[in-house]
Amino acid sequence: MRILNFGSLNIDNVYAVDHFIRPGETMSSLGMEVFCGGKGLNQSIAMARAGAQVWHAGAVGRNDGKKLLELLAESGVNTDFVRKTDGVSGHTIIQVDKNGQNCILLFGGANQEITPEQVDETLAHFEEGDILLLQNEINGLAGLIKKAAEKGMKIYLNPSPVTGELLELPLELVDCFILNEIEGADICGQEAKEEEIPQLLHEKYPRAVILLTLGSRGCIYYDGENRYEQPAFCVEAVDTTAAGDTFTGYFIASAVKGNSVPDALLKAAKAAAITVMGKGAAPSIPWDKQVEEARL
């Protein structure tokens, strides 16, 4: 079983702030750093650092995407299916406040230049039973989901961010949703307590396993028969960026390696806790050895 992650690659411009900027306010930041990020790139790096064999597909700008590709390669991710475009790479402006919370302004750039030809050429290298992981930061998701499902690939979707277009996708073809409580409520389309969301989502999409992340409150897994809860590790947050991506990547890698669901959830929660203790998206994602050795 191989893993293809068709997803975003971003350059994250991260500003340390006293508080998130308010409408009409001009405010000096307390510092600025540039990191590699993007939900797609972060999740590929997490899976590879967790020990899985990962192929990343997507697009970067010819002139500014080199370091994104280098970091993927250094982490052990195959980048043969990342295309270089004449435009600019995706990028973000991220504010991180004193509590480590963030807010993210996204510019899609090359992430929005995925062509049907690239989708077909990439999927041709994969087969029934392989995993396709997606987030909602690239274009072309409808074609990707339909074509991968026709091939019998297993579709894992981190539906982030939830948009009107995302709700129009053939979500009934998704085999596993990994999402937070806000995304879960949006996709349920009804008011629900967070502990009810996994069951409601499973009723709406009966083929799908639901993995609901709840930040510092942990996560809930539900597959229609089994329900597991995993508390989050209590650590001091420096920067929560990419915690969800680390959780997603570690859970998938751990499950693919044949670990039980409770073991995969535990590993993912531990890896995500380590991520929030470091600055930046991709740089804060731990390697498997760090997760194994960490005493939290």
**Which residues of this protein are in contact with ligand RIB, per CB under 6 A?**
8, 10, 12, 37-39, 42, 92, 104, 137, 241-242, 244-245, 281
Nearer to ligand RIB, 108 or 147 (CB): 108
Instruction: Give strand pairing partners of 83.
Output: 59
Is 90 assigned a ligand-binding role in the annotation?
Answer: no
Nearer to ligand RIB, 42 or 254 (CB): 42
Is 245 assigned a ligand-binding role in the annotation?
Answer: yes
Minimum distance between the CB of residue 271 and ligand RIB, rounded to whole angstroms?
14
Is 214 assigned a ligand-binding role in the annotation?
Answer: yes
Minimum distance between the CB of residue 247 and ligand RIB, rounded to whole angstroms?
10
Q: Is the dihedral of CA 220, 6, 129, 159 positive or negative?
A: positive
Is 217 assigned a ligand-binding role in the annotation?
Answer: yes
Nearer to ligand RIB, 104 or 162 (CB): 104
Minimum distance between the CB of residue 236 and ligand RIB, rounded to whole angstroms?
20
Is 41 assigned a ligand-binding role in the annotation?
Answer: yes
Q: How far is residue 148's CA from residue 146's CA, in Å, rounded to a whole number?
A: 6
Nearer to ligand RIB, 200 or 276 (CB): 276
Say which amino acid occupies 67.
K
Is 127 assigned a ligand-binding role in the annotation?
Answer: no
Which one from 18, 120, 245, 263 is the annotated catalytic residue? 245
Is 76 assigned a ligand-binding role in the annotation?
Answer: no
Both tokens of residue 241?
Answer: 């960026």
Could you confirm whether 245 is annotated as catalytic? yes
Nearer to ligand RIB, 135 or 254 (CB): 135
Q: Which residues contact 290 (CB under 8 A, 6 or more apart)?
A: 274
Binding residues for K(+): 239, 241, 275, 278, 280, 284
Binding residues for ATP: 180, 213-218, 244-245
- Supply the residues annotated as catalytic: 245
